């Protein structure tokens, strides 16, 4: 094992200051970990021989490299929440990737500056799961929940003179999840060394209880260790200019409280996500003992019966999506560039909110939401004391729920993006009086830890929670689906508003269309795909149009979180019982982040600044000549005319005839003939304002490459997502192409993974070859630590290859 030396390696994520005066230093343990799957006696010992173990960097997901196997975590279950009548064998429910079992991680470091009077903390942003943590052969702690943030005080175990060995044993059980949880140290691990006289870990809470256009009151409560100490706070604006400064020497118990005026405050909002910085120093006897730097936003939030959710005094509806934590081909291992790409895509769609379903989000995701402007619903659990899966959180609820909630709130409460907590998702405890007590108990813990934000639960058993009082006690009644019960819930619940905490669950496969085009639920086809006419949903769910009507017509519906923004690994409904399906079909974008048609459906409503004019399906239907092939257009315009090879198919106008007619322009009787389809949009005065056309493609000719970013950071982690499309000689997409592509990266980058969005593909993401699906796939190119050119070449038999040059800076 190579060892890491803390001394000169200083990393500051948003929370930590550091200084030559030895105040506080932070070491991120990313490289030189040794990993092995399996259980090993004595693996916690310093002298354990791990030479043969694989060297990995953290964040790391041991299971994402596969292979896929239908036997992995095969679950014979009756999914009650999916209204199933009998148990059936479910494959791929947790992704069919080898995440079950035991894995060990070891690394070593030295801390020569650690001495008497210092404190060292070992901090995990998450570890999947059942983490047993050892330092120098001694056990320092245990944490069962894989999504929890946690830390241990390791001061007494440190050897300042020599090497220190961290060993972590993780164990994932079968039947512990309803989706792919990932495996391993999938989030970052850090060591913080500070003085004993210091700010407590996660002990600072910044709020803005008074805000008007002239002034904001910034309230800072901070827990400290030490006597005769005082705190000094400097507040800087987004340009780094000092806008306020204050010293406070009064301490009540362990808490120092400051109220600091910031004049002419710039408010944080999704449209203008302005961030301030608080630099706190702790002094004792004239000496600086600790410092920390915390980003925060000045904003107000309020929820009321007459005005719904108000941000900075303005009623704002949640145009949100739910996201699972995996990043498709990267698995659960956190990568900030991958998260940023997701949010960039969602921003363009007009999305303004994220729900971290159904667990604690990564810190990286929260930082990005602060910076890019997304409201955030931070969730905690998918289960309480009653089980959904045998080895789920029900095993830990009684002992750990409070601790996990406390850490969630304390570690993340300074993020202005978080505007609501969720204590649970569709918990079976919705039934029965004990469940009501648990709901209150959890909500009280959230309130105790954070009196500024309300709490919701995603409730699917709406009738039951009306009867039991469960729904009435929640700050925010969140309904998962059940659009037919919104009115009744509004009527019977006392809050005066309802949130669509989970909506739609419409299913589709990018670029796949099924005929005849009909609204259907729970439909399965032999090819394991779902139709992208966006007419298919699950028995418990609905179409986006059903939600939109409520969102648009009812002031008391305060917004929605669509299930889901991106496809995720596991939960291949409606194909849970049909192998090989191993990832979801719910996404607005596919598993590789490529947009499905539905992206434009939401964009046409949510992005009110930019034009949307999108035609579906593709126009490559050899064999369907003369057959009815409906054409849909998703657009912000109300009216448009469709032409097939120059022949008008008539004008369609949005209307209230059906919910679908309100949000889609649909030409249901179009007969297929190869050539060109063109849509011309008209404004309300009948002027043509925009047009779009797509053409039948000729023979596949070459591979076209388009990068989302051509310049990336030479930081070893940054990613460019390059879309590879099989096109004809004129550049038209060959939407049925399934060519086997091969990837080669040279220069200052490396091939990281590929993904084609096909939920039935068993090709492995990390191998440098993959078939296109509906003519496309995405290649992830990762930067190295050196600047320079990176060249990606994509080739395939019978096609002219594509080459793109990227830059790492």
Full 3-state SS string of 76-110 = EECCHHHCCCCCEEECCCCCCCCCCEEEEEEEEEE
> Among residues 421 and 721, whose Cβ is nearest to ligand GAL?
421
Contact residues for 186 (Cβ-Cβ < 8 A; gap 6+) = 59, 60, 61, 126, 127, 128, 331, 332, 333, 334
C-beta of 389: minimal distance to ligand GAL in Å? 12
> Among residues 538 and 745, whose Cβ is nearest to ligand GAL?
538
Contact residues for 85 (Cβ-Cβ < 8 A; gap 6+) = 78
Would you list the DSSP string of 409-448? Answer: HHHHTT-TTEEEEEEEES-GGGSSHHHHHHHHHHHHHHHH
Q: Among 148, 131, 149, which residue's Cα sits nearest to residue 140?
A: 131
The whole-angstrom distance between residue 169's C-alpha and the CA centroid of its chain comes to 26
C-beta of 432: minimal distance to ligand GAL in Å? 19
> Among residues 119 and 358, whose Cβ is nearest to ligand GAL?
358
> Among residues 308 and 458, whose Cβ is nearest to ligand GAL?
458
C-beta of 540: minimal distance to ligand GAL in Å? 6
Residue where the block lists tokens 């979180």: 561
Q: Among 615, 620, 618, 628, which residue's Cα sits nearest to residue 665?
A: 615
Task: Please say whether the beta carbons of 753 and 330 come within 8 A.
Answer: yes
Task: Please say whether the beta carbons of 721 and 778 come within 8 A.
Answer: yes
- Helix %, strand %, coil % of the chain (to 5): 15, 40, 45
C-beta of 436: minimal distance to ligand GAL in Å? 20
Task: Please say whether the beta carbons of 781 and 753 come within 8 A.
Answer: no
> Among residues 15 and 462, whose Cβ is nearest to ligand GAL?
462
Report the distance separating Cα 17 and Cα 12, nearest Å.
7
C-beta of 586: minimal distance to ligand GAL in Å? 6
What does the longest C-alpha to C-alpha distance in the chain come to? 88
What b/e string do you get for 81-98 counting C-beta neighbours within 10 Å, with b at 16 or more?
bbeeeeeeebbbbbbbbb
C-beta of 293: minimal distance to ligand GAL in Å? 36
Pairing of strands 276-284, 255-263: unpaired
Full 3-state SS string of 655-683 = CCCCHHHHHCEEECCCECCCCEEEEEEEC
> Among residues 355 and 363, whose Cβ is nearest to ligand GAL?
355
Please pick, among 364, 367, 449, 502, the residue that the annotation labels catalytic.
502
Q: Is 142 helix (H, G, I), strand (E, B) or coil?
A: strand
> Among residues 130 and 505, whose Cβ is nearest to ligand GAL?
505
Please pick, among 426, 536, 560, 673, the residue that the annotation labels catalytic.
426
Residue nearest to ligand GAL (CB): 505
Q: Among 138, 149, 128, which residue's Cα sits nearest to residue 62?
A: 128
Q: Is 367 a catalytic residue?
A: no
Q: Is 379 a catalytic residue?
A: no
Residue ranges binding ligand GAL (CB under 6 A):
81, 358, 425-426, 458, 460, 480, 502, 505, 538, 541, 563, 571, 573
List the structure tokens of 376. 């955030």
Q: What are the catalytic residues? A: 426, 502
């Amino acid at each position: 094992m190579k060892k890491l030396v803390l001394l000169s390696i200083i990393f500051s994520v948003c929370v930590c200051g550091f200084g030559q005066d030895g105040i506080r230093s932070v070491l991120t343990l990313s490289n030189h970990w040794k990993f092995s799957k399996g259980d090993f006696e004595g693996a916690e010992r310093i002298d354990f021989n791990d030479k043969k173990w694989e060297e990995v960097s953290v964040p790391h997901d041991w299971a994402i490299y596969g292979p896929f196997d239908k036997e992995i975590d095969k679950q014979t279950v009756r999914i009650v929440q999916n209204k199933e009548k009998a148990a059936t064998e479910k494959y791929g429910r947790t992704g069919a990737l080898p995440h079950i079992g035991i894995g060990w991680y070891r690394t070593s470091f030295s801390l020569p500056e650690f001495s008497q009077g210092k404190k060292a903390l070992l901090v995990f942003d998450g570890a999947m799961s059942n983490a047993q943590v050892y330092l120098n052969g001694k056990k320092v702690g245990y944490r069962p929940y894989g999504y929890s943030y946690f830390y241990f005080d390791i001061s007494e175990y440190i050897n300042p003179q020599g090497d220190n060995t961290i060993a972590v044993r993780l164990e994932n059980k079968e039947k512990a999840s309803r989706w792919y949880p990932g495996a391993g140290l999938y989030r970052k691990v850090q060591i913080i060394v500070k003085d004993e006289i210091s700010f407590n870990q996660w002990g600072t809470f910044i709020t803005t209880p008074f805000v008007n256009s002239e002034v904001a009151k910034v309230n800072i409560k901070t827990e400290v260790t030490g006597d005769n100490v005082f705190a000094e706070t400097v507040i800087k604006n987004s340009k780094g200019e000092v806008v306020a400064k204050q010293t406070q020497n009064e301490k009540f118990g362990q808490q120092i409280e400051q109220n600091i005026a910031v004049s002419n405050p710039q408010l944080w909002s999704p449209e203008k996500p302005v961030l301030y910085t608080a630099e706190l120093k702790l002094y004792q006897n004239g000496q600086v003992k600790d410092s920390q730097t915390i980003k925060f936003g000045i904003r107000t939030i309020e929820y009321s019966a007459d005005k719904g959710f108000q941000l900075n005094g303005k009623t704002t509806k949640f145009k949100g999506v739910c996201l699972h934590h995996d990043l498709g081909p990267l698995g659960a291992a956190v990568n900030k560039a991958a998260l940023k790409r997701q949010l960039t895509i969602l921003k363009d769609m007009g999305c303004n909110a994220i729900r971290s379903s159904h667990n604690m989000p990564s810190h990286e995701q929260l930082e990005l939401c602060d910076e890019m402007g997304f409201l955030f619903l931070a969730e905690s659990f998918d289960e309480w004391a009653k089980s959904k899966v045998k080895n789920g959180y029900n095993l830990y609820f009684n002992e750990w729920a409070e601790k996990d909630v406390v850490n969630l709130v304390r570690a993340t409460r300074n993020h202005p993006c978080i505007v609501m907590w969720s204590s649970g998702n569709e918990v079976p405890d919705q039934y029965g009086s004990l469940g009501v007590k648990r709901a209150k108990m959890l909500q009280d813990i959230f309130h105790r830890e954070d009196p500024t934000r309300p709490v919701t639960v995603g409730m699917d058993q709406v009738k039951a929670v009306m009867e039991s009082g469960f729904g009435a006690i929640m700050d925010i009644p969140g309904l998962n689906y059940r659009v037919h019960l919104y009115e009744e819930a509004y009527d019977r619940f006392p809050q005066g508003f309802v949130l669509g905490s989970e909506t739609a669950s419409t299913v589709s496969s990018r670029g796949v269309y099924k005929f005849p085009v009909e609204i259907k639920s729970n439909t399965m086809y032999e090819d394991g795909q779902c139709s992208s006419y966006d007419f298919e949903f699950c028995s418990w769910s609905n179409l986006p149009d059903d939600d939109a009507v409520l969102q648009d017509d009812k002031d008391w519906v305060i917004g929605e979180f669509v299930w889901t923004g991106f496809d995720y690994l596991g939960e291949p409904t409606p194909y849970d019982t049909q192998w090989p399906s191993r990832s979801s079909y719910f996404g607005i974008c596919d598993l590789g982040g490529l947009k499905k048609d539905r992206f434009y459906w939401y964009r046409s409503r949510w992005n009110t600044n930019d034009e949307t004019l999108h035609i579906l399906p593709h126009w490559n239907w050899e064999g369907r000549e003369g057959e009815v092939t409906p054409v849909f257009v998703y657009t912000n315009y109300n009216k448009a005319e469709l032409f097939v090879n120059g022949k008008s198919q008539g004008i369609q106008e949005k209307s209230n005839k059906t919910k679908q007619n309100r949000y889609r322009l649909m030409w249901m009787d179009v007969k297929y003939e190869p050539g060109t389809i063109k849509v011309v949009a008209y404004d309300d005065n009948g002027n043509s304002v925009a047009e779009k056309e797509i053409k039948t493609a000729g023979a596949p000719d070459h591979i076209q490459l388009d990068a989302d970013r051509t310049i990336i950071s030479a930081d070893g982690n940054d990613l460019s997502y390059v879309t590879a499309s099989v096109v004809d000689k004129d550049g038209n997409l060959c939407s049925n192409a399934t060519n086997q592509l091969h990837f080669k990266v040279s220069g200052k980058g490396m091939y990281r993974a590929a993904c084609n969005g096909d939920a039935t593909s068993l090709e492995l993401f990390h191998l440098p070859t993959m078939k296109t699906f509906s003519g496309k796939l995405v290649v992830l190119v990762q930067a190295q630590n050196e600047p320079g050119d990176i060249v990606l070449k994509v080739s395939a038999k019978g096609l002219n290859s594509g080459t793109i040059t990227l830059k790492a800076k």
